[in-house]
Structure 1
Amino acid sequence: MMTKFNLKGKVAIITGSSKGIGEAIARLLAENGATVVISSRKQEACDAVAEKFKADGLSAVAIACHVGNPDDRTALVEKTIEKLGGIDILVNNAGTNPVFGPVEEATDEIFDHIMNVNVKAPWDLANKSLESMKKRGGGSIINISSVEGELPEEGLGIYSTSKAALSMLTKSQAKEWGKFGIRVNAISPGLIKTKFSAALWTNQQIMQQIESSSPLGRMGNPEEIAYIALLLSSEAGSFITGSILVADGGFLLS
């Protein structure tokens, strides 16, 4: 049964993979045989992670990409195909939330920035990867959404809106691209201990609320999201598409 998780010969792009959830996903996919493309805004950060992976006997290539930049998105896909021959797995993990406050206080610039990085970039990268996946007989696209797209928290309204849009984009892509053998799913994490979410888990009041109200009574860790990504990337998840898999310790039940 474990051979169903084998990704040998597969090429996987993981955006935002120089740290946190993205790095954890990249490492687990590489440990299961994939050649992974480490990608984030700064080349030095990508190089550092790729070298660390290689030192552990894993196959990794570093290609910097600011997903908010359309030219960078094009270059990421083109360089991956040029260096590695094609794309089998795309994990749209990079995201942003530069503000915390009421929705009416968000500026046009903030709104556009959040939507560009959290929705437009995954849409565009998937479109640019589509032809390569079709040529290779199929593929897997994984969008990292959030429980905030299901149950918005005060102060995170625009971010929540972007993640809700990403979840619907996932379902639309899955419906249209299944005929090509391409599966598209999303993972909606709850609070995960990463640098991105530090403002939340370093807040004692928020942590007390989570510990007292959610069934598991704790935050998650990046590896717990990576396990789901491995399932969705591999033959073990071959009948899963159009799904939004929630990993939140029961937060949405509270």
Structure 2
Amino acid sequence: MQQPSFDLSGQVALVTGAGRGLGRAIALALANAGADVALGLRDIAADGGLADEIAGLGRRALKLQMDAGNLDQSRAAMDEAIAKLGRIDILVNNVGGGGSQGPVEDFTEQTFDDTIGINLKSSFFIAQYAGKHMIARGSGRIINMSSQAAFVALPGEAIYCIAKAAVSHMTKCMAVEWGKYGITVNAVAPTFIATPGTAPALADPVFKADVEDRIAALHRIGEPHEVAGAVVFLASPAASLITGQTMLIDGGWTAR
């Protein structure tokens, strides 16, 4: 009887937003599972030693200048990854940001465009470009970055919630169209995770206590490796029958 495999040996992964937080943890987890990793970095000179850590695991690491908000630069980075590492088997489309907060009635058109642009537009076109390469090869794994905000209304973050909900539905659309090419497309949807990006908000003890209370089952802030584990699973042969899904990693927030 065939047993599930979580081994990524011989695979090439591209992780966008790899410089810190979730992206960094995901890149290391993929390397630990056997993959070579291309690192999409907003500043190629600021990887914080990540490439060396991956090399220390015996994997290839390629640093790429890749600001996800710059689609021409992102496409060029993907071309470089394919040229130097041979292919992209796994795309971790770690794109997004909360942007401005406020009541629905006060958001400006520019804020809407900026938030949708980085969370949805960039995610779509990066996945599209990698998807074309995977279609030609007849296989691939794409893991998009959604959020628990796709499933619950977070006061003051309406546009972000809308954008991440769209990412989850985009994931379904891509999965349905690209399954015939041997490509699976899934997403992960984390709750509040302890990263440099969430540190300012979580430094407020009142806000942190409210978040911990809303994470109804576990009552604690998540850690980056807890998201990275789900990504490795979705990228692995063990998840070969899973596509079009958004995996909530929310400690029970949406179960309440």
Name the TM tier (shorter chain).
Answer: over 0.9
CA deviation digits over 1:3-27, x for unaligned, max 9? 7111112111111111111111110
8 Å Cα contact 1:143/1:166 also seen in 2: yes
Tell me if 1:153 matches 2:135: no
Which shows bigger deviation, 4-13 or 166-175? Answer: 4-13
The residue that corresponds to 1:162 in the other structure is 163
The residue that corresponds to 2:32 in the other structure is 31
Displacement after TM superposition at 1:114 (Å): 1.4
8 Å Cα contact 2:31/2:57 also seen in 1: no
8 Å Cα contact 1:46/1:64 also seen in 2: no
Tell me if 1:55 matches 2:45: no
User: Quick one: which amino acid aligns to residue 225 of structure 2?
Assistant: E
Tell me if 1:22 matches 2:23: yes
Tell me if 1:215 matches 2:211: no
8 Å Cα contact 2:40/2:63 also seen in 1: yes
Tell me the TM-score normalised to structure 2 length.
0.94
User: How is 1:200-239 mapped onto 2 (pairs within 5 angstroms)?
Assistant: 200-213=201-214, 214-239=216-241
Displacement after TM superposition at 1:171 (Å): 0.5
Tell me if 1:192 matches 2:188: no
Please give the alpha-carbon distance, in whole angstroms, between the structure 2 residues aligned to 1:84 and 1:135. Answer: 16
SS of 1:21's partner is helix
The residue that corresponds to 2:143 in the other structure is 142
The residue that corresponds to 1:132 in the other structure is 133
Tell me the TM-score normalised to structure 1 length.
0.95
Residue segments in structure 2 that go unaligned for 5+ positions in a row: none
Please give the alpha-carbon distance, in whole angstroms, between the structure 1 residues aligned to 2:166 and 2:154. Answer: 16
User: Quick one: which amino acid aligns to residue 6 of structure 1?
Assistant: D
Please give the alpha-carbon distance, in whole angstroms, between the structure 2 residues aligned to 1:166 and 1:94. Answer: 10
Displacement after TM superposition at 1:2 (Å): 7.9
User: Quick one: which amino acid aligns to residue 212 of structure 2?
Assistant: E
Cα distance change of structure 1 residues 42 and 236 upon mapping to structure 2, 3 Å threshold: same
Please give the alpha-carbon distance, in whole angstroms, between the structure 2 residues aligned to 1:2 and 1:83. Answer: 33
SS of 2:243's partner is coil
Query: Over aligned residues, Cα RMSD in angstroms?
Result: 1.6
8 Å Cα contact 1:183/1:242 also seen in 2: yes
Displacement after TM superposition at 1:117 (Å): 1.2
Shift >6 Å, 4+ stretches: none
